[in-house]
Amino acid sequence: MRRLILVTTTIVFTNCFCLLNLSLAQIWDKNLPSDSRFKILSEFADSAVRDNNTGLVWDREPSPEKVTWKEAKTNCLNMAAGGVWGWRLPSINEIMTLVDRRGKPGRPVMLPEGHPFNLPTNGDNYTYWSATADYNPASKSVFWLVHLSIGKAILATAAQEDAPPPHVKYFYWCVRGPMQEGRY
């Protein structure tokens, strides 16, 4: 007689009780074509898209308004796309996974052809905040952004330690999925 044994891994941190669900791990070893890479999620009222290359779930309609870095982080935390909470600002590594520099020149954004996202009409400025910030005592903080028109990561330097100046505003794009703490 065979017995099925169900194993649940429990990790206890100081002041935190967490269950580790290994099925939530991000998968970064795929490079699917656009038609099978992205799936619009009906369980989010079609307002979210799963990227099958990474396992991340993206807001289908990134922000149409420019905001500060702190506002972008707050807006993602307070978002409930399709009635579902748990959104955050992506790391620079995560948002750069959407960039595709192949394809036809002159595209307004460097996203895979046939992507299902509803990007706002921003003219030629498709620059989005990431949650990634590096602190250097000599130059204060540096905040990473992605410029989708050119398909590259760029930097914004802060005048203070914890945030760019309040007048520096860019668009934001929220994501849902396990965080890679070391990537922030």
Report the CATH number at residue 40: 3.10.100.10
pLDDT reported for residue 114: 84
Instruction: Please tell me the total count of domains within the chain.
Output: 1
Is residue 1 one of the residues assigned to a domain?
no
pLDDT reported for residue 28: 62
Is residue 28 one of the residues assigned to a domain?
yes
Is residue 71 one of the residues assigned to a domain?
yes
> Measured between alpha carbons, how far is 21 from 34 in angstroms, rounded to an integer?
28
pLDDT reported for residue 155: 86
Q: Which structural domain, as residue segments, surrounds residue 76?
A: 9-183
Is residue 4 one of the residues assigned to a domain?
no
Longest dimension (CA), the chain: 69
> Measured between alpha carbons, how far is 12 from 95 in angstroms, rounded to an integer?
31
Is residue 117 one of the residues assigned to a domain?
yes
89-98, 119-128, 147-156, range with the lowest pLDDT? 119-128
Environment class of residue 13 by beta-carbon count within 10 Å: exposed (0-12), middle (13-18) or buried (19+)? exposed
Is residue 3 one of the residues assigned to a domain?
no
Does pTM surpass 0.85? Answer: no
